[in-house]
Amino acid sequence: MDMQSSIVYLDYNATTPLDDRVLERMLPYFKQQYANPSSPHLFGMQVLEEIEFAQEDLAYLIGCRATDLIFTSGATEAINMAIKGIPEDHRKHIICAATEHNAVLACCRYLATTGYRVTYLPVDRDGMIDLEMLQESITCDTKLVCIMLVNNETGVIQDIQAIADITHQAGAWLLCDATQAVGKIPIDVKKMGIDVMPLSAHKFYGPKGIGALYTNPDLKSLRPLIHGGQQQGGIRSGTLNVPGIIGLGAAASIAKKEMELEKIKISKLREFLEKSLLEIDGVFVNGHLEKRIYNTTNVCIPDIQSQEMILALGNIAVSSGSACSSVTNKPSPVLKAMGLDDHHNRSAIRLSLGRFTSADDIDYALERIKKIITKFRG
């Protein structure tokens, strides 16, 4: 492979390439099995059955019942559905971590305009929630606590089970954004105490434009955001994205079988990459060094702007934070919440590895990064 002309992709947290096996499973549903699954005829019922199989595969991956899942266009819609659609009662207080994805933060900001009070929970320098502070922040008015499982920028993993215990003791519900975790690490929503959990297929080798929302059956039905033909129990109306759902199910099935082997391979590559980067003068890691997902490293390279590094890397795809906010050159709100000053914040890059990352990719990226640093530091 000619590394000079090929894309070396180290931005798996932004999106993953579609696995060929997933694509192969999806293709018939574009041309041969194209019936509307809501149709009453045999053709439609056959497609509906395949959707139910895909739903079972996803449920098996996260430890829930198939009937606990609602298909969406992705995690952002699922988050909006969960936060804006949670049943109304007397409680008007929401707690969310300051390091949540902007989809969660934006929904909370919106609800603040409708009479809700929102507490933004700080994190420490490692990006971790203070459980005592969470305990102190919860009141009898708290309805919802929003804490993500794996941070998309730093890979930091929160103790969701402990957070769930605190949340439930107060009678509140827990929304856990697991978009960066599903398909990468084991998840059991029941054991972990998660009440509402959004996810997106394109983060674990499925297609874009399809996601799902797990909802604890003990939670009363969510108020729908989309009204129409009463599909999915009226919670999310609209003709189902059949190829997308089939792809989501296929990606879930593959992840369930291959997750552990993938973790071993990717962990070794990330460890070598990070160790090599830390040998460069001044470089340091953002986020907890142990409570972190195995595919992600977020490092500061002092005195070099991350945008300059990204442009100089050319055919090597890395990022400076969340893909959803990378169009701006503002300091990362996540790193800012972790106490990083703007100077170092603007020098942070995220490298995230995945299923198709090779040792050659890592060697080539390290060689290029070191050359660029030498050139820029002059």
Residues 248, 270 within the same domain: no
Residues 172, 147 within the same domain: yes
Of 251, 252, 248, 245, whose CA–CA distance to 231 is shortest? 245
pLDDT confidence bin for 43, thresholds 50/70/90 = very high
Evaluate whether residue 47 is within a structural domain. yes
Q: What is the pLDDT of residue 329?
A: 65
pLDDT digits (tens, 9 = 90+) for 95-149: 999 999 999 999 999 999 999 999 999 999 999 999 999 999 999 999 999 999 9
Burial of 110 (0-12, 13-18, 19+ CB in 10 A): middle
Identity at 232, one-letter amino acid code: Q
Domain boundary among 208, 234, 253: 253
- The whole model's pTM is what? 0.95
Q: What is the pLDDT of residue 369?
A: 97
Quote the CA–CA distance of 281 and 200 in Å, as a whole number: 38
**CATH number, domain at 354?**
3.90.1150.10
Evaluate whether residue 34 is within a structural domain. yes
Residues 96, 187 within the same domain: yes
Tell me how far apart the terminal alpha carbons of the chain are, to the nearest angstrom: 31
Q: Which residues are catalytic?
A: 324
Evaluate whether residue 151 is within a structural domain. yes
pLDDT digits (tens, 9 = 90+) for 304-319: 999 999 999 999 999 9
Mean pLDDT within 220-235:
90
Quote the CA–CA distance of 219 and 143 in Å, as a whole number: 12
Evaluate whether residue 296 is within a structural domain. yes
Residues 186, 271 within the same domain: no
Residues 214, 283 within the same domain: no
Residues 344, 222 within the same domain: no
Contact between 169 and 147 (Cβ < 8 Å): no
Residues 57, 158 within the same domain: yes
Mean pLDDT within 1-30:
91
Q: What is the pLDDT of residue 70?
A: 97
Residues 241, 263 within the same domain: no
> How many other C-beta atoms are found inside a 10 Å radius of the C-beta of residue 48?
16
**CATH number, domain at 93?**
3.40.640.10
Residues 241, 287 within the same domain: no
What SS3 state is found at 174? strand
Q: What is the pLDDT of residue 328?
A: 53
Domain boundary among 229, 253, 277: 253
pLDDT confidence bin for 378, thresholds 50/70/90 = confident
Residues 12, 33 within the same domain: no
Residues 140, 228 within the same domain: yes
Q: Is the pLDDT of residue 374 over 70?
A: yes
pLDDT confidence bin for 66, thresholds 50/70/90 = very high
Mean pLDDT within 162-175:
97
Q: Is the pLDDT of residue 323 over 70?
A: no
Mean pLDDT within 154-176:
98
Residues with Cβ within 8 Å of residue 150, at least 6 apart in sequence: 156, 157, 178, 180, 181, 184, 185, 293
User: In total, how many domains does the chain have?
Assistant: 2
Q: Is the pLDDT of residue 326 over 80?
A: no
pLDDT above 70 covers a percentage of the chain that reads 96
Domain of residue 215 covers 20-253
Q: Is the pLDDT of residue 4 over 80?
A: no
Evaluate whether residue 3 is within a structural domain. no
DSSP label at residue 328: S
Q: What is the pLDDT of residue 110?
A: 97
Residues 186, 312 within the same domain: no
Mean pLDDT within 76-105:
96
Evaluate whether residue 1 is within a structural domain. no
Domain boundary among 253, 276, 303: 253
pLDDT digits (tens, 9 = 90+) for 268-282: 999 999 999 999 999
